[in-house]
Amino acid sequence: MSTPAVPPPVPPAGDVDVHAALREPAHQVSPTARALWAVGAVVRGLVLVAALVAADLLDWWALPWWGWALLVPALVAYAALMPLVRYRVHRWESTETAVYTQVGWLSRERRIAPMSKVQTVDLEQSPVARALGLATVTVTTASAAGPLTITGIDKPVADRLVADLTRRTESEAGDAT
Give pLDDT, residue 18: 45
Run of H or E residues at 163: helix 155-171
Q: How far is CA 177 from CA 21, 79, 116, 118, in A?
A: 20, 40, 8, 8
Q: Are 163 and 121 in contact (CB under 8 A)?
A: no
Q: Which residues are within 8 A (CB) of 67 and not within 5 positions of it... i.e. 6 or more apart? A: none
The yes/no answer on whether domain 27-171 falls in CATH 3.40.47.10 is no
> What's the confidence (pLDDT) of residue 144?
82
Question: pLDDT value at position 172?
Answer: 67
- Output the pLDDT for position 12: 44
Q: Identify the three-state secondary structure at position 106.
A: coil
Largest CA distance in the chain: 69
- Measured CA to CA in angstroms, residue 11 lies from 5, 18, 23 at distances of 18, 12, 17
Closest CA to 17 of 119, 101, 95: 95
Successive 10-residue mean pLDDT values, the chain, 177 residues: 49 45 88 97 97 92 92 97 96 94 91 91 96 97 89 97 91 63
pLDDT at position 170: 81
